C-alpha cells in the first residue's frame, strides 16, 4: 500500500533530510586515506544524534551500524569495519535519519584521494543518472519512466544497471511502496501522485550488473569484482513537480 504524505509530513521529512544531508556532507569530508569505515560510522551516528534525530538504519533488519560503507566492488549495504581507506579506493556512503517519526535516506559515492580515470568517470555517470531521474520525477509519470531514463543514460555511457536492487517509497518505514527500479519501460509501473515520497538511487557497475553477497555476508558486491557506484536522494512529488528533501 502506498502512503501519500500531507504537506506537513513532507515538511517534517524535509527537516530530517536537511539533518541527514548535513551529516553526510561532514562524513564525506572525513573520507580520506587512513580513516577506517568504522570511524566514519561512529562519526555519522554522533552527528545525527547531535541534531536531535536517530540513525534510521541501526537495528533495521538486523543491521548493526548507522552507516552503510561500501568499498570498491561493494555496491550497497556494506558493513563498516576496521578497513582503512586507501588512495585510489571509492566508497559508497549510505545513511538514513529518523526524525519525528519519519525516515529519509541518502547516499553518495566518494573518491579517496587520487583515483583512476575509470573510477572518476563512473562517479560522474552515476551522479548524473541520479540528476536525470530526479528531473523526470513528477505527478503523472510512472516509475518505469524514471527507470527507463536512468537505464538509457547509464547504458549509453557503457555501464551496467543493477537489477536486483532498486529505489523505494519512504516515510514512517524505511522501505515502503512503490518500488522504483533503475531500469524499465516507459509508461509501465506505478503512476506517481502528489504526496508520494520516494528514494531514487541509481546503482551503476563498470562491468556486469550481476551481484553476489559481499564478504561481510550482508552487503552486495559485483559478481565480476569490478567497481560500482551508488547515489541517492529522497524526493517528494508535489503539485509543482519534484522536491529534493535530502539537501542542505
Among candidate residues 11, 79, 20, the one with its CA nearest the CA of residue 47: 20
Among candidate residues 69, 115, 122, the one with its CA nearest the CA of residue 91: 69
Please answer whether residues 122 and 89 qualify as being in contact, where contact means their C-beta atoms are separated by less than 8 angstroms. Answer: no
pLDDT tens digits, one per residue of 159-218: 999 999 999 999 999 999 999 999 999 999 999 999 999 999 999 999 999 999 999 999
Distance CA 78, CA 156 (A): 28
Average pLDDT, the chain: 97
pTM: predicted TM-score of the whole model, two decimal places: 0.97
Q: What's the whole-number mean pLDDT along residues 224-232? A: 98
Output the CATH code of domain 7-244: 3.90.230.10
Residue at grid coordinates 549495504:
77
Q: Annotated binding residue at 77?
A: yes
Q: What's the whole-number mean pLDDT along residues 124-149? A: 98
Cell of 179: 518500488
Please answer whether residues 114 and 96 qualify as being in contact, where contact means their C-beta atoms are separated by less than 8 angstroms. Answer: no
Q: What is the pLDDT of residue 67?
A: 98
Residue at grid coordinates 502528489:
194
With b for 16 or more beta-carbon neighbours within 10 A and e for fewer, the 197-206 pattern comes to bbbbbbbbbb
Alpha helices per DSSP H over 7-166: 7-30, 37-50, 117-136, 143-156
Q: Annotated binding residue at 209?
A: no
State residue 81 phi and psi, 5-degree precision.
-155, -170
Please answer whether residues 237 and 137 qualify as being in contact, where contact means their C-beta atoms are separated by less than 8 angstroms. Answer: yes
Q: What's the whole-number mean pLDDT along residues 59-64? A: 94
Q: Annotated binding residue at 232?
A: yes
Q: Computed over its alpha carbons, how large is the radius of gyration of the chain?
A: 17
DSSP output for 164-206: S--EEE-SSSSSEEEEE-SS--TT-SPBP-TT-EEEE--EEES
pLDDT tens digits, one per residue of 2-55: 999 999 999 999 999 999 999 999 999 999 999 999 999 999 999 999 999 999
Cell of 164: 536486483
Q: What is the pLDDT of residue 18?
A: 98
Query: What is the percentage of the chain residues whose pLDDT exceeds 70?
Result: 100
Q: Annotated binding residue at 168?
A: yes
Q: Annotated binding residue at 105?
A: yes
Q: Annotated binding residue at 230?
A: no
Classified as helix, coil or strand, 21 is: helix
Q: Annotated binding residue at 240?
A: no
Cell of 89: 579506493
Among candidate residues 59, 115, 118, the one with its CA nearest the CA of residue 89: 115
Amino acid at each position: 500500500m502506498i502512503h501519500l504524505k500531507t504537506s506537513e509530513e513532507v515538511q517534517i521529512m524535509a527537516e530530517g533530510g536537511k539533518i541527514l544531508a548535513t551529516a553526510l556532507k561532514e562524513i564525506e569530508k572525513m573520507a580520506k586515506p587512513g580513516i577506517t569505515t568504522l570511524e566514519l560510522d561512529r562519526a555519522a551516528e554522533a552527528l545525527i544524534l547531535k541534531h536531535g534525530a536517530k540513525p534510521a538504519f541501526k537495528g533495521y533488519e538486523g543491521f548493526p551500524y548507522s552507516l552503510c560503507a561500501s568499498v570498491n566492488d561493494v555496491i550497497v549495504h556494506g558493513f563498516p569495519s576496521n578497513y582503512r581507506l586507501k588512495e585510489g579506493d571509492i566508497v559508497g556512503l549510505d545513511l538514513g535519519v529518523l526524525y519525528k517519526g519519519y525516515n529519509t535516506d541518502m547516499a553518495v559515492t566518494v573518491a579517496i584521494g587520487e583515483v583512476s580515470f575509470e573510477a572518476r568517470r563512473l562517479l560522474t555517470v552515476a551522479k548524473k543518472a541520479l540528476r536525470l531521474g530526479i528531473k523526470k520525477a513528477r505527478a503523472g509519470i510512472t516509475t518505469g519512466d524514471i527507470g527507463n531514463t536512468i537505464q538509457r543514460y547509464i547504458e549509453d555511457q557503457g555501464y551496467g544497471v543493477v537489477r536486483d536492487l532498486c529505489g523505494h517509497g519512504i516515510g514512517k518505514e524505511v522501505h515502503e511502496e512503490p518500488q522504483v527500479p533503475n531500469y524499465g519501460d516507459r509508461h509501465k509501473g506505478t503512476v506517481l501522485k502528489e504526496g508520494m515520497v520516494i528514494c531514487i538511487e541509481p546503482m551503476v557497475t563498470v562491468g556486469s550488473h550481476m551481484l553476489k553477497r559481499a564478504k561481510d555476508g550482508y552487503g552486495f558486491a559485483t559478481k565480476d569484482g569490478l567497481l560500482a557506484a551508488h547515489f541517492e536522494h529522497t524526493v517528494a512529488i508535489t503539485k509543482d513537480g519534484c522536491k529534493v528533501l535530502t539537501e542542505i
